[in-house]
Amino acid sequence: MQIHVVQKGDTLYKLAQKFDVTVNDLVNANGLSDANTLVIGQSLIIPAGATTHKVLVGDTLWLLARRYGVTLQELAAMNNISNPALIYPGQQLVIPQAAKPSIEVNAYTEKFGAAGIAIVEEIGPYLTYLSPFSYRLQADGSITPLDDSAIINAAYQTRTAPMMVITNFENGTFSPDIAHAILSNPTLQQSVIASILATMKQKGYTALNVDFEYVPPADRELYNAFLQKLVDNLHPQNYLVSACLAPKTSANQTGTLYEAHDYAAMGRILDFVVLMTYEWGWSGGPPRAVAPLNEVNKVLIYALSVIPSQKIVMGMPLYGYDWTLPYVQGAKWAPTVSPQAAVNRAHQFGATIQYDEEGQSPFFQYYDKEGREHVVWYEDARSVQAKFNLVKAYNLRGVSYWVLGVPFPQNWYVLQANFTIKKLV
């Protein structure tokens, strides 16, 4: 696989000729709905159907080694090249095939019924876990039921392990009061744990994910103790236990979102943690990349200082946002946009896609039919490849996606090109 950035004058036919692939290969790898519309600055996956590369004008052995993720020495040795400077256009090079690392892949879904089943059937082959969102805990210890049986069955058909998600989510936000009610009452906790176990057995769940957000900072130790109780009760039944962590860059980071999330303790107690490394750019905030690589990396550096790498699952977004400018705090929130829709919008309004090198994220600006200026930040093949490079560099357990139902075919192609996805069922 290669990633090509569309230049002026590019067409799919020309690119197919240049890279020795078919137009259909390009259409399928990139999920293109219209083969005739390309946008300058758009990233395109060039699928590598073979293990050879025909040298083009401007190619160097060093550049090709970087492109294919091998060393210069490996590439030279494979092709009996004694002088790496001597390659020529038209020469066929054999590309060494490195073993792909194995990772676990989780994805949350809010889609149920027929639509949810269709998504699981399509994406399930790329997943280790499917996490229906969510079972909502109430202050009295009861749990709001979820109509998830159909998508759980679909998950098993693709050998995807269903992971039960419990939250303190209520009325569109996370409730500190619900979290406190549960965490401060040991009797209530036993009732909650009994309900969780009953649900997991009845529905066929194999793991539990705890997504408690905005936990009161004073309840930090109570939260750690609750997670330990969950592990003590679920491990004897062979269930895995994980939790979501707010994206911290230090142990003493302030703010209600962060303070009760004890990276060191949770890394010690749990089987793995899911870092919510997204939403720097969010619907109600000022425009910026949703998951800028430089910010994600800061969180990983801190997490790795207190949590083993094989317990860390890095969060990844499948979406972007379209902000109307100028940004006004408290005004209308930016709507979500899929990567596919973002590129289509850039084409519709004649925008050129740009790329932020520091954040490793694509963006573009345009004026709508009413003359209002917009800026769109989203994800593409380049941005997800950059994140996968971090997963490999740090030897992380895997990645976790928020949220299924947002079309992003490139992501799944790049994921499979980089990794072997572990299956637990």
What's the CA gap between 22 and 341, in Å, rounded? Answer: 24
Handedness of CA 18, 19, 24, 29 (dihedral sign): negative
* The one catalytic residue among 74, 170, 213, 259: 213
Amino acid 175 reads S
| Cα distance between residue 104 and residue 122, in whole Å | 18
Residue from 312, 314, 295 nearest 377 by CA: 295
Partners of 131 in the β-ladder? 108
Decide the pairing of beta strands 135-137 and 143-144. Answer: antiparallel
Report the chain's C-alpha Rg in angstroms.
Answer: 23
- Residues 196/143, Cβ–Cβ less than 8 Å: yes
How far is CA 251 from each of CA 139, 179, 264, 288, 354, rounded to the nearest angstrom? 29, 21, 9, 25, 35
213 included as an active-site residue: yes
Spatial separation of the C-alpha atoms in residues 298 and 306, rounded to whole Å = 13
Please identify every residue annotated as catalytic: 213
